[in-house]
Amino acid sequence: MSTINVTRSSMPTYEEYCEEIKDLWESRWLTNMGAKHKKLQAALEEYLDTPHVTLYTNGHLALENVIAAMGFEEGSEVITTPFTFASTTHAIVRNGLTPVFCDVNDADYTIDVSKLEALITPKTVAIIPVHVYGNICDVDAIKKIADAHGLKVIYDAAHAFGVSYNGVNVANFGEASMFSFHATKVFNTIEGGAITFSDDSLEQVLYDMKNFGIRGPESVAYVGGNAKMNEFQAAMGICNLRHIEEEIEKRKRVVERYRERLGGVKGIKLCAEQQGVKSNYAYFPVVFDGYRYSRDEIFENLKANDIVARKYFYPLTNSFECYEDLPTAGTEKTPVAAYIADRVLTLPLFADLAFADVDRICDIILKEN
């Protein structure tokens, strides 16, 4: 049998992509915010129903840039979660800021809002919560806390493209949201990312940051870097966006099949569907808690059958060796996140995953011996 990977990139047909990029051979405009870049930006602003989208070559640089754009004083504290990909914490630290790790809740694994205020100090300037697996944070409670303490909120929405809450797209919460368009995501531009925001003043700052601060042929007004999305990336995004709702619907059917097979099994915990949330079915996390096999045993059993699952997120970012000397590090401060990280496994999930393959995965997990 062929290997089943944890994910597989969604792509348009070969013919559709070739048709989209054909005019690049005429214009020879391959980067520097060309026609494809502008077309994708406008399409995303419409799809996400948000006033501003700034495109990036990847999500990490997008997050680094938007944190920098806030102008926080070096050494300030930012409350975040360790239950995330390395990028979130790295982006904070690379901006000269100190991450303060808040635990997650045990229902959807997003930041535990009941523990936020206890972590706020005079040095706190922002909260960077993470929408996880397509589950969104308690945006209402976070806004209330942030407003009460004068804090900025920047969402790491890498997992949340296409998700909405009570009819509002997640792109519209907080001061800004970062989306990843990496090949493994629900929506991809091969590599890529974006920042969404409503404050008009951020538009020029973010543009300067990603394009060397160049404002004209003889004008460089800001010490910026290079994080522009190229035209081939943008073309892939244009194509993929045409099919995004169909892709999400396919993923939903796969998730429903998993839930049919694994729901209600003792020792196997599945995330409940969030009220008022239109999901994108980005990932399918399973927590093995008291099951007859441990998470690691399930991982190895699947691997032996050419099925690639992922211990996602493990280890926690507050246990990385690069942060050993960070005063706020240490998983003992985030026991729920540590507990989940030791037991969670994300199972293969992509739009074209066949039900027969889902059943094969579930049969291995549910096998008696």
CATH code, domain with 353: 3.90.1150.10
Percent of the chain predicted with pLDDT > 90: 99
- State residue 2's pLDDT score: 87
pLDDT above 80 (res 326): yes
- State residue 368's pLDDT score: 79
Question: Locate tokens 């806004």: which residue?
Answer: 143
Residues 192, 141 within the same domain? yes
Average pLDDT over residues 67-81: 98
Question: Which residue among 194, 219, 242 closes a domain?
Answer: 242
- State residue 13's pLDDT score: 98
pLDDT in tens, 140-156: 999 999 999 999 999 99
Residue 226 lies in a domain: yes
- Structural domain boundaries enclosing 185: 14-242
Residues 148, 196 within the same domain? yes
pLDDT above 90 (res 369): no
pLDDT in tens, 264-298: 999 999 999 999 999 999 999 999 999 999 999 99
Residues 67, 132 within the same domain? yes
Residues 250, 233 within the same domain? no
Total domain count, the chain = 2
Residues 133, 86 within the same domain? yes
Residues 145, 109 within the same domain? yes
Residues 236, 270 within the same domain? no
Residue 6 lies in a domain: no
CATH code, domain with 91: 3.40.640.10
Closest CA to 155 of 133, 167, 135, 139: 139
Instruction: Tell me the H-state helices in the chain.
Output: 14-21, 24-27, 35-47, 59-69, 86-93, 139-149, 201-210, 231-242, 244-262, 295-304, 335-341, 355-366
Residues 232, 323 within the same domain? no
Residue 253 lies in a domain: yes
Mean pLDDT in the chain? 97
**What's the rounded Cα separation, in Å, for the pair 107 and 269?**
10
Residue 31: strand, helix, or coil: coil
pLDDT above 80 (res 172): yes
- State residue 221's pLDDT score: 95
Average pLDDT over residues 303-318: 98
Average pLDDT over residues 16-42: 98
Indicate the helix (H) or strand (E) that contains 152.
strand 152-156
Average pLDDT over residues 14-32: 98
pLDDT above 80 (res 1): no
